[in-house]
Amino acid sequence: MPTSSEPARDLSDPQYREAVIDLLGAMAYGELEAFERLARDAPMAPDFYNRSAMAEMAVAEFGHYKMLRARLEELGADPDVAMTPFVEAIDGFHASTTPNDWLESMVKAYVGDGIATDFYRDVAKYLDPQTRDLVNAVCADFGQSKFVVDAVRYCIAEDPKVAGRLALWGRRLMGEAVAQSQRVAVQREALIDLVLGGLGPDLAAVTRMFADLTEAHTARMKSLGLEA
């Protein structure tokens, strides 16, 4: 598999360009949906401080969406067209993982969105410098994780019984995310080739990639004080 030290790919390569547009389209729709979800869930927060923090997270997600949309336009792609192939999978994930309360919403924002972030960071090593910098900027954590971790740990300390429910919720998020990702991978050949660093549809490589995502998920759950 190529390493980050190898020459970057060239956007003049039609297959690579198609994969980049797919990647940015998937990310853009994911960020737009995250903005809408956080804004919708914010009123569930127990107080104005936490409600405001969720609103700030939503604003950050929308900023990321605008960055991705602008880059797609620079590449000569229609952002709406680029996002469309991923609507069904992303909407399917969120429809099957609707939080019942604020705590579940927080865990989803940290664990669910974290799965996507881990995936995109892994893919970034195979990108041209400009696209790689954009992906890493979108995936950067500007303190959102600390807010969520602190809030969830505080609530668990106040009521330890919620830990079991949230642990089950985290496992469900991981299962649904992997299932939807696999569906996308089967349908978007150029994107999966990019994800695998040019290896093509190698099922063993796909298995390794999802194993890495699972390991990162386990670490993220532990940081919340939950069992994966």
pLDDT digits (tens, 9 = 90+) for 86-132: 998 899 899 999 999 999 999 999 998 888 888 888 888 888 999 99
Confidence (pTM): 0.86
Q: Which of 113, 129, 126 is nearest to 174 (CA)?
A: 113
Q: What is the pLDDT of residue 138?
A: 94
Domain residue limits, the chain: 14-223
Give the pLDDT score at 24: 96
CB atoms within 10 A of CB 105: 22
Q: What is the pLDDT along the chain (228 residues), one digit of tens a residue?
A: 444 444 457 888 888 898 899 999 999 999 999 999 999 999 999 999 999 999 999 999 999 999 999 999 999 999 999 999 999 889 989 999 999 999 999 999 999 888 888 888 888 888 899 999 999 999 987 677 888 999 999 999 999 999 999 999 999 999 888 777 766 666 666 666 666 665 455 566 667 777 888 888 899 999 999 986
pLDDT of residue 15: 84
As given in the structure block, the two tokens for residue 61 are 């997600």
In the CATH scheme, what is the code of domain 14-223?
Answer: 1.20.1260.10
